[in-house]
Structure 1
Amino acid sequence: MRAKRSKQYRKLMQQYAMSFGFREPYQVLVDAEIIQAAARFKMKLGVLLAGALHGEIKPMITQCCIRHLYDAPATTDQERREKEGWIEVAKQAERRRCGHHELHEPLSTLECLTSVVDPKGSGKNRNCYVVAAQDQEVRQSMRRVAGVPLMYVNRSVMILEPMASKSEKLREMEERGKLKAGLISRRPTGPGGKRKREDEEDEDIPDRARAVIAAEADGGVRVGSEPAAKKKQKVKGPKGPNPLSVRKTKKEDLKPVARQVQDERAASRTTSKSKPHVVEEEVDAELDEEGDAMGGAIAATKKRKRKRKVKGGAAVDGEVAEETAEALTV
């Protein structure tokens, strides 16, 4: 049960921090009655307050409340010792000047705390006070002020009351306002927040350039009555195949003469299949032509043989010269 209650108190203080601006150290206003109740149950008041609020605290007491402790009746020695203990605990807290010390008699706890928490009667806890009061009437009055966490002691247990209905309504209204503002417009950045890229670009553009851009967006006409050239929109068509998956084309390295020879051979193969007698005639004609060409070449070589001179100076035919050359070599 303690863990569950602690979790609820932590969540409740987070809500107070988000909606009403509470932060550590929490300013806790204590009255005379809660000091007396904590001493009766032998409780360490500061430790229990810090544990319930889940953070550092700054205990504070008004001048009227500490005067109530001094004015408490004490007839026996035990009552005097208890009274001294109450005053010692009150002295450890910071003195909160309420401005009632000049009065002959101190104000009641309700009047004094109300004047400190809500001095102008606006119904708001502007200084973010946490009120630790044992008097039920005081707590009931403080529930009418928005954003006041209330604490009291119940059978040696420190209790943090749930958020009052008025505070809950204000918190819900604030949350709805934040949600609505976030949906309608952009969230305003604080002094340490980051600006968006669009805002930075808009600030860098001069006024005239911004007006030209706006005019182009509206009708395509510039400010100085100069027609603005509309940007050509790219026509999106069907995408081609992936170039990595397409088969590469073969380069034509063949020369035109070799290509012509291949075409002729291919044509001859087709004719040989369809008309074999024509092919035989062509082959015979080619052989005859080749024979004639070979005979002419032999005759040309014979004619080209030159006469060589022998040592004696007489000119002989090529055959004789060859025989003499062979004899010499031998």
Structure 2
Amino acid sequence: MRGKRSKQYRKLMQQYGLSFGFREPYQVLLDADMIRDADRFKMDLVGGLERTLHGQVKPMITQCSMRHLYAAAKEPGVSFLIDKAKTYERRRCDHRPEDYPEPLSTKDCLVSVVDPKGSKTNKHRYVVASQELEVRKFMRGILGVPLVYINRSVMIMEPMAGATAENREKEERGKFRAGLKRGSGSLKRKREDDEEKEDAETKEDMPRKKKKTVKGPKGPNPLAVKKSKKKPEEATAASIKVEFKKELRTEAPNAAQPAGSERSVKRKRKRKLKSSDSGEAGPVKAEAAGEDD
């Protein structure tokens, strides 16, 4: 089986499972022609069905289909097919030989099993594997019936019929509307919250506008401006302050002495002159001694 076709079949069975509740093992109704054609093309019928439906299968055969095989028992190889069909699960169609001496057609028998009440629904979720075109044509009108057949030794599953696809889309739209009605309030709040968040984010992301500065005449460069000259009144006041501070400094040490004491005047030491001759130094020393006396 090619990959593209296999992918389509898997997706189709998933849709049947979601919309109509199909689950493994899939119940497959077989007719007599399907069994005979699989043997003619030397196909593994159960393995081919599992590969096509992508899951385990439970092959079933009705009492009427078994009677069709019994009717062709004289043909070569049919006895082997009868023994093989006996291993499949028997689906009772209630068409007993006492009531129906001749077996019903494949179409009437399968329709009575798939849709016994004529409600156009596949209540028991059967997969119909039939080689008869009339059977498949009628089954397309019943909702949710996967159809399988063999074409030139290739097992093929038909796409979803128009009535089934329309019913599935209708149910999906109903579920969608119901979900919107249930969560309409919460959705509205979520939208409002999301819009507020988006507005706040956009405001943060927006570049802030710079304030416009009004351009006017610029002032002079302070380094190039000449210093202003002090006025004569200010200069005299500053000189008076300086002299007053000097007087305070000179009077401060004298204030610690008593009022009657005289100032102690330090004598200035005269520098002695150095001379190489001793004779010259004599009168200088004598003068210094006379001053001390």
TM-score w.r.t. the length of structure 2 is 0.65
SS at match of 1:295: coil
Say whether 1:95 aligns with 2:90. Answer: yes
Residues 10-29 of structure 1 aligned to structure 2 (within 5 Å): 10-29=10-29
- Asked if structure 1 preserves the Cα contact closer than 8 Å seen for 2:61 and 2:89, the reply is yes
> What is the alpha-carbon distance in structure 2 between the residues aligned to residue 24 and residue 173 of structure 1?
25
Specify the alignment match of 1:70 in structure 2. Answer: 70
Unaligned runs of at least 5 residues, structure 1? 188-271, 300-330
Specify the alignment match of 1:57 in structure 2. Answer: 57
2:115 counterpart letter in structure 1? D
User: Structure 1 residues 274, 175: closer, same or farther in 2, change over 3 A?
Assistant: farther
Measure how far apart 1:73 and its partner are. 4.6
Provide Cα deviations, 1:232-264, integer angstroms capped at 9, x if missing partner: xxxxxxxxxxxxxxxxxxxxxxxxxxxxxxxxx
> What is the alpha-carbon distance in structure 1 between the residues aligned to residue 249 and residue 142 of structure 2?
127
> What is the alpha-carbon distance in structure 1 between the residues aligned to residue 64 and residue 240 of structure 2?
139
Measure how far apart 1:289 and its partner are. 5.3
SS at match of 1:116: helix
User: Structure 1 residues 291, 94: closer, same or farther in 2, change over 3 A?
Assistant: same
Q: 2:78 aligns with which of 71, 83, 94?
A: 83
Residues 157-306 of structure 1 aligned to structure 2 (within 5 Å): 157-186=154-183, 275-288=237-250, 290-295=252-257
> What is the alpha-carbon distance in structure 2 between the residues aligned to residue 54 and residue 2 of structure 1?
13
Taking CA–CA contacts closer than 8 Å with sequence separation of 6 or more, which of the two structures ends up with the larger relative contact order? 2
> What is the alpha-carbon distance in structure 1 between the residues aligned to residue 35 and residue 78 of structure 2?
10
Say whether 1:131 aligns with 2:128. Answer: yes
2:102 counterpart letter in structure 1? E
2:121 counterpart letter in structure 1? K
2:159 counterpart letter in structure 1? P
> What is the alpha-carbon distance in structure 1 between the residues aligned to residue 168 and residue 83 of structure 2?
39
Measure how far apart 1:25 and its partner are. 1.2
Measure how far apart 1:35 and its partner are. 0.2
Measure how far apart 1:36 and its partner are. 0.6
Measure how far apart 1:274 and its partner are. 9.2
Aligned residues: 208
> What is the alpha-carbon distance in structure 2 between the residues aligned to residue 182 and residue 6 of structure 1?
33
In the TM superposition, structure 1's runs of 4+ consecutive aligned residues that sit over 4 Å from their partners are 272-275
SS at match of 2:257: helix
User: Structure 1 residues 69, 277: closer, same or farther in 2, change over 3 A?
Assistant: same
User: Structure 1 residues 113, 274: closer, same or farther in 2, change over 3 A?
Assistant: farther
> What is the alpha-carbon distance in structure 2 between the residues aligned to residue 72 and residue 290 of structure 1?
151
> What is the alpha-carbon distance in structure 1 between the residues aligned to residue 158 and residue 235 of structure 2?
111
User: Structure 1 residues 275, 58: closer, same or farther in 2, change over 3 A?
Assistant: farther
> What is the alpha-carbon distance in structure 1 between the residues aligned to residue 9 and residue 52 of structure 2?
7
Q: Tell me the C-alpha RMSD between the 2 structures.
A: 2.3
> What is the alpha-carbon distance in structure 2 between the residues aligned to residue 143 and residue 186 of structure 1?
37
Provide Cα deviations, 1:204-249, integer angstroms capped at 9, x if missing partner: xxxxxxxxxxxxxxxxxxxxxxxxxxxxxxxxxxxxxxxxxxxxxx
- Asked if structure 1 preserves the Cα contact closer than 8 Å seen for 2:73 and 2:79, the reply is no
- Asked if structure 2 preserves the Cα contact closer than 8 Å seen for 1:35 and 1:89, the reply is no
1:106 counterpart letter in structure 2? P
SS at match of 1:61: strand
> What is the alpha-carbon distance in structure 2 between the residues aligned to residue 137 and residue 30 of structure 1?
15
User: Structure 1 residues 89, 294: closer, same or farther in 2, change over 3 A?
Assistant: farther
2:103 counterpart letter in structure 1? P
- Asked if structure 2 preserves the Cα contact closer than 8 Å seen for 1:52 and 1:158, the reply is yes
Measure how far apart 1:288 and its partner are. 4.6
1:279 counterpart letter in structure 2? K
Unaligned runs of at least 5 residues, structure 2? 185-233, 262-293
SS at match of 1:86: helix
Specify the alignment match of 1:40 in structure 2. Answer: 40
Provide Cα deviations, 1:93-112, integer angstroms capped at 9, x if missing partner: 11112222353333221111
SS at match of 2:143: coil
